[in-house]
Amino acid sequence: MDFKNRFRTGLRQVKETVQIGPYLIFLVLLIIGSCLPAHQAPYKMPLGDEGEVVLYFQPVPQEAGKIRFTIGEIAAIRADGSQIPLSLYFNELKGARLAGEQKLLATGVLLPGSYSGLAIKITNAFVQTEEGDIALLVPKEPVAVDQLFEVKRRQSSTLFLSLSPSGIITGRIRFTPVFSLAGSDRILVNFTGYVSNADSNIITVFNKKTTEVVNTIATGRGPKGMVLDQRRARAYVAVSEEDSVDVFDVFSGSIISRIRLRFGDNPIELALTPDGRTLVAVNHGSNTVSIIDAISMFEVTKVSVGEGPTWAVVDPSGLKAFVMSSLSNTISVVDLTQRVISLTIAVKGGPLQGAFNRTGDRLYVISRDSPNLSVIDTSRSTVIAQIFVGPGSISLRVDLRTNLILVGKKFGGEITVVDPFSLMFIDSIKVGGKVAFMTIDREENSLFVVLPDKGLVRKFNLISKKMMAEIEVGEGAHAAVVMSEI
């Protein structure tokens, strides 16, 4: 926003001194607009008086593996019979590719009220045979899927569409699909995981064992960093574009409170003390951190930190928060009892994220402009080593059981595994995309990786390094938390 204002001011000054034609002004605006960074793009507006439907297509049975068909339109049917089209994420459904995979099919912002089901328009269908694909006759009218569902104001309703394996083809030439529709089911709290989606303003709820989406939660505009208080079954998400922190209850799967911050704070990441009593919000817009009483859900105070804060991590004692500021090349150490900065550590290259080892005597830091991982001795508050991990580091996690350091990369589609004892990288995990965030589930010894460029969360076995499953979560995936994470 500051860049845009400076540009407008400069253009106005130029116009006062030089006669610029309308065409040239338009050309300059076009060039400058194309050069704006990607994060300047507007976020999706949050729900007002409307509600939202998120539709997932459930895994197809093996019997449907030879069928492929194209959906022209899916519409929600209101109680009065009127239809409202949904926005499709994809329209060609290939049975072989959908076997065992849940897919995000469509979304739509709808008026609150009762709906009688969906209408699905099929445009073509084919069956695979030994002679090749054979075209099938498709229904002339949209296929009705009768199932009552409710759309509530400012809430997200998650629906799951299934295709019956029986009667898909009749008379060997006609495609006669039978669909069924279901709503969200409750799952055991211990199996839940959550993903914040900054572009679509929702939290995706998934079953970490089956790796299927089970629900979605509507939030404010631009949900980003998340932390989970497993003891109280409560989660917090930084709602960056509304200068607030939303609190949602794990049991009910709903927002229970909103912690208001100051206008322009733009919170992007969160950190929580081990006892769950103090929450730290990293306010990128105001170069501050908010210290929040998580029990009363109230902002106690703000502390100014370095320019461009990007991350905060609380030490194992819960007494200090280490705040990375990439533009000032500093880490501010915030005393959480006195609520002041106790010292500042200089780190070159624009520190982005940090993570502690198991004992808390080492803080590992990745930087925006450095190919090295910095190792900080917290007792001396100094950088004692630099480990080469290559350029493009954007995310960091420490496996507290092994102390192995995982560094996620922006390019190359991999995670670098670093041994803290030999101070060198020893392995890599191929994940196939930009690694924006990672979290580890101690129960299954698995790693969940957020890949925003693909709209996916992928699950990996930490022993074999093999991918176990992937979860479609949609646009702007930012962070993930799971019960029993470390």
Instruction: Kindly give, in sequence order, each residue whose CB lies less than 8 Å from that of residue 396, ignoring residues fewer than 6 positions away.
Output: 353, 354, 355, 364, 365, 366, 405, 406, 407, 408, 438
**Angle (deg, nearest 10), helices 2-17 and 22-35:** 160
Largest distance between two CA atoms of the chain: 79
Q: Nearest Cα to 426, choosing from 461, 391, 389?
A: 389
The Cα-based distances of 295 to 312, 315, 432 in angstroms read 20, 20, 40
Structure confidence by residue, pLDDT tens digits, 189-246: 899 999 999 999 999 999 999 999 999 999 999 999 999 999 999 999 999 999 999 9
Q: How is residue 9 annotated by DSSP? A: H
Residue type, 475: E
pLDDT of residue 25: 38
Element (H, E) at 58: none
CA dihedral for 90, 431, 475, 83, sign (positive or negative): positive
**pLDDT above 90: percentage of residues in the chain:** 78
User: First CA to last CA across the chain, in angstroms?
Assistant: 37
- Spell out where 230-339 has E strands: 234-239, 244-249, 254-260, 267-272, 278-283, 288-293, 298-304, 309-314, 320-325, 330-335
CA dihedral for 241, 202, 88, 206, sign (positive or negative): positive
**pLDDT above 70: percentage of residues in the chain:** 91
Domain definitions of the chain by residue range: 2-37, 51-182, 189-482
pLDDT (average), residues 297-311: 97
Q: Cα–Cα distance between 436 and 409 in angstroms, integer?
A: 8
pLDDT of residue 132: 82
Edge-to-edge strands, sheet with 309-314: 309-314, 320-325, 330-335, 340-346
Cα dihedral value 57, 63, 67, 69, nearest 10: -30
pLDDT of residue 24: 41
CA dihedral for 81, 84, 90, 91, sign (positive or negative): positive
Q: Cα–Cα distance between 184 and 153 in angstroms, integer?
A: 17
Number of helical H runs and strand E runs in the chain: 3, 41
Q: Is residue 443 scored above 60 in pLDDT? A: yes
pLDDT of residue 328: 97
Q: Nearest Cα to 445, choosing from 426, 415, 466?
A: 466
Check if the beta carbon of residue 474 is closer than 8 Å to that of residue 200.
Answer: yes
Q: Is residue 404 scored above 60 in pLDDT? A: yes
Q: Cα–Cα distance between 402 and 387 in angstroms, integer?
A: 18
Q: Cα–Cα distance between 126 and 52 in angstroms, integer?
A: 32
Q: Nearest Cα to 245, choosing from 257, 254, 233, 253?
A: 257
Element (H, E) at 208: none
Q: Is residue 27 scored above 50 in pLDDT? A: no
Structure confidence by residue, pLDDT tens digits, 374-398: 999 999 999 999 999 999 999 999 9
Residue whose pair of structure tokens reads 């006609």 in the numeric block: 174
pLDDT of residue 152: 94
As a whole number of Å, the CA-based R_g of the chain is 25
CATH topology of domain 189-482: Methylamine Dehydrogenase; Chain H (2.130.10)
CA dihedral for 444, 476, 435, 322, sign (positive or negative): negative
pLDDT of residue 292: 98
Instruction: Tell me the two tokens of residue 274.
Output: 């081990």
Structure confidence by residue, pLDDT tens digits, 328-372: 999 999 999 999 999 999 999 999 999 999 999 999 999 999 999
- pLDDT-derived band at 13 (thresholds 50, 70, 90) equals very low
pLDDT of residue 100: 77
pLDDT (average), residues 140-158: 95
- pLDDT-derived band at 43 (thresholds 50, 70, 90) equals low
Q: Is residue 8 scored above 60 in pLDDT? A: no
pLDDT (average), residues 425-443: 96
Residue type, 162: S
Bridge-based pairing of strands 132-136 and 113-129 is antiparallel
Evaluate if pTM is beyond 0.85: yes
Question: How many Cβ atoms sit within 10 Å of the Cβ of residue 319?
Answer: 15
Does domain 51-182 fall under CATH 2.40.128? My reply is no
